[in-house]
Amino acid sequence: MSDKVRLASVGLGRWARVLARGAQRGDKVELYSCFSRDPGKRAAFQQEFGIERSAGSYEELLADPAVEGVIITTPNDTHMDVITQALRAGKAVYTDKPIAHSLEDANRIAAVVAETGGVFAVGHSSRRLSGHREMKRWIEDGRLGEVSLAEANFSNERGLELTPQTWRWYADKSPGGAFIQLGVHHADTLQFLLGPVKNVTAQARKLYTKSEVPDAIMAILEFESGALGYIGTGWASPGVYTMNLLGTKANLMYDLDFTHWDESHLADDWSTLKSQFYGESVRQPVELPRTDMFREQLEEFGLAARGEATVEVGATEAVRALAVVRAVIESSARGGQAVSLDEVIDSAQASPALA
């Protein structure tokens, strides 16, 4: 029998396939089982990825002692029930970002993680991109100096493609629209790089999508360090993924071709990071070591399920990323008034008994 960590995919749509390909690029985890309520999807997923078995129900999957952890890619508004059921069944849980569609559900999930002591990971993968890892190194070794400003944008055209048959169309299932789907990546990565966000000031608009959610959002973040950051995110343009950090010693400018996002083992070939040092006008390319964010996070999760690694992004980090989304929504609703992260996190506290 293989000594790879045995994982099961739950929710077998497009993103489950992206993660499955990432898992199979490595040698530490294997896709051992899978579940979808649709038997046809189960059979197709098994065939595509050579998976040994599937389960006829979620309960059957969780009762399988051979399954060490589950990879959840179901719609955001289903996360709380699916995650807490798995944790209470003793399974390690990886869920794609965001942790949930609401901060209330996120806090309930965090409470159950604490209650069960289970291994729990959230797929805020973008912090693992080589450009962001290099930014972190420059901050930690002092080459960047003290950061005063950060500028980030993650946008694409998906809002123009939404229909009432897709769950992202609806405000109660995908609050914040482009920000909860795309901007939340930068909300996590910027806090990874610069520390906790203190306050958020934002404006959100629904301009070109026919759905219920906004497709143009701008947010100004005030970090506890005093630094300021901008996150722009939209759903009505060709894909953009950028981040700039402005420091007292140097600037770093990162650009990734979004069309290669799904192929995380190739993303570095389609990325550039440039530096500009104090007193210089020339922007020099910075070498980017090769990374594979999807493979790396799933291998880390699998090893953590066996007590051989520590999860980098768990409930605490994921709640703070989602709290930025909630603060963006609240600030826009209040006409751009600043909203504190502590306020929105505290206001969404819920009893774990409700989970």
- Summarize pLDDT for 245-302 with one digit per residue, the tens: 999 999 999 999 988 898 999 999 999 999 999 999 899 999 999 999 999 999 999 9
Cβ-Cβ contacts under 8 Å for 284 (sequence gap 6 or more) = 274, 275, 276
Are residues 111 and 255 located together in one domain of the fold? Answer: no
Burial class (CB in 10 A: 0-12, 13-18, 19+), 121: buried
- φ, ψ at 312 (rounded to 5°): -80, -40
Contact 15, 75 (CB under 8 A): no
Q: Distance between CA 279 and CA 268 in Å, rounded?
A: 29
Full-model pTM: 0.94
Question: How many residues comprise the chain?
Answer: 355
Tokens at 37, concatenated: 């309520």
**DSSP single-letter state for residue 112:** H
Domain that holds residue 251: 126-291
Q: How distant, in Å, are the alpha carbons of 11, 14, 60, 270, 284 from that of 128?
A: 24, 21, 34, 15, 22
CB 344 within 8 A of CB 327: yes
Assign residue 118 the CATH number of its domain: 3.40.50.720
Cross-strand pairs, 272? 255
Same domain, 160 and 19: no
Residues 6+ apart with CB under 8 A from 219: 179, 183, 200, 201, 202, 230, 231, 232, 324, 328, 331
Coil, strand or helix at 223: strand
Which residue, chain included where needed, has tokens 């020339």?
282
In this structure, what token pair is assigned to residue 130?
Answer: 């080589």
C-alpha 119/C-alpha 121 separation (Å) is 7
Strand order of the sheet with strand 284-285? 284-285, 271-277, 250-256, 240-247, 147-155, 228-234, 216-223, 197-205, 339-340
Q: Any long-range contacts for 255-260 (C-beta under 8 Å, 24+ apart)?
A: 256/129, 256/131, 258/154, 258/156
Q: How far apart are CA 212 and CA 206, in angstroms?
A: 8
d(CA 247, CA 260): 29
CATH number at residue 148: 3.30.360.10
Q: Are 195 and 254 in a shared domain?
A: yes
Does residue 342 fall inside a structural domain? Answer: no
pLDDT tens for the 355 residues of the chain, in order: 579 999 999 999 999 999 999 999 999 999 999 999 999 999 999 999 999 899 999 999 999 999 999 999 999 999 999 999 999 999 999 999 999 999 999 999 999 999 999 999 999 999 999 999 999 999 999 999 999 999 999 999 999 999 999 999 999 999 999 999 999 999 999 999 999 999 999 999 999 999 999 999 999 999 999 999 999 999 999 999 999 999 999 999 999 998 889 899 999 999 999 999 999 989 999 999 999 999 999 999 999 999 999 999 999 999 999 999 999 999 999 999 999 999 999 898 854 433 3
- Is 339 part of any domain? no
- Shared domain for 115 and 137, answered yes or no, is no
Predicted confidence at residue 220, as pLDDT, reads: 98
| The domain boundary residue, chosen from 239, 263, 291 | 291
106 and 53 together in one domain:
yes
Structural domains of the chain, count: 2
* Residues 151 and 31 grouped into a single domain: no
Q: Is 332 part of any domain?
A: no
What backbone phi and psi angles, to 5 degrees, belong to 193?
A: -85, -40
Tell me if 226 is assigned to some domain.
yes
pLDDT at position 354 is: 37
Check whether residue 143 and residue 202 sit in a common domain: yes
**Which pLDDT does position 258 carry in this prediction?**
87
Residues 6+ apart with CB under 8 A from 244: 150, 151, 152, 251, 252, 253, 254
The answer to whether residues 270 and 189 touch, using CB atoms and an 8 Å cutoff, is no
Per residue, what are the HEC states of 161-214?
HCCCCCHHHCCCCCCCCHHHHHHHHHHHHHHHHHCCEEEEEEEEECCCCCCCCC
Instruction: Give domain status of residue 317, yes or no.
Output: no
* Same domain flag for 153 and 176: yes
Q: Is residue 234 part of a domain?
A: yes
In a domain, 340, yes or no: no
| End-to-end Cα spacing for the chain | 37
The verdict on residue 355 lying in a domain is: no
